[in-house]
Amino acid sequence: MIRNICQWVLYKRLGWKKDVAFELPEKYIICLAPHTSNWDLILGQLFEHAEGMKCNFLMKKEWFFWPLGPIFRRMGGIPVWRSKHTSMTDNLAEEAKKRESFGLCITPEGTRSLNPDWKKGFYFIALKAGLPIYLYGVDFQRRLIQCNKVVIPSGDVDKDMREIKLYFKDFKGKKPEKFTVGEVD
């Protein structure tokens, strides 16, 4: 029932389309960009439910106050303490190895503001846990959610991040002025 409602809202009412070339395996990381607005979370939740996916996501801990905290946790949110240097990538990689299924969606910019210096935590989680990274682009201009590239981390973070950034360079976020892939040689 929820799936049908979300499909109707996302695809019929809001007019979004999907171009997804892959079935997700039991364990994966989704790298989702651009992330320029709080609407990205709502769109992501609609897509997740419309497609019957179950995926956790990272979100700054400041959003986990009452009454939103329990709601975000139920939705799959994992709070991130950005001011603390924790071993979150190690912990998530170990958790991924232990579980039979593991799905985690991360926005590499780490913020809704303009940021050319993308976070690499998603990459290191995937590398340490041996997971593929599915690149999901959200294009508000074309009303398109697209995934037609998967990256298997090679260990050469600069080369792989360049490939990832190039994939996202033409996607337009809700606020396009807040998105950049930075300098890509």
Domain boundaries, the chain: 2-177
Short-list 143, 122, 124, CA closest to 134: 122
- Cβ distance 139 to 146 under 8 Å? yes
Residue 88 vs residue 57, higher pLDDT: 88
In the chain, count H helices and then E strands: 6, 8
**Averaged confidence pLDDT in the chain:** 89
Residue 184 vs residue 64, higher pLDDT: 184
Phi and psi at 90, nearest 5°, equal: -65, -45
Task: Give helix 88-98 / helix 121-129 axis angle, nearest 10°.
Answer: 40
Residue 162 — very low, low, confident or very high, per pLDDT cuts 50/70/90?
very high
Whether 59 has a pLDDT exceeding 80, the answer reads: no
Tokens representing residue 145 in the block: 């959610």
d(C-alpha 90, C-alpha 51), whole Å? 29
- Cβ distance 148 to 84 under 8 Å? no
- Cβ distance 146 to 18 under 8 Å? yes
Predicted pLDDT of residue 143: 97
- Cβ distance 133 to 153 under 8 Å? yes
Phi and psi at 176, nearest 5°, equal: -55, -30
d(C-alpha 59, C-alpha 62), whole Å? 8
Rounded average pLDDT over 73-92: 70
Q: Which position has the token pair 């949110």?
A: 77
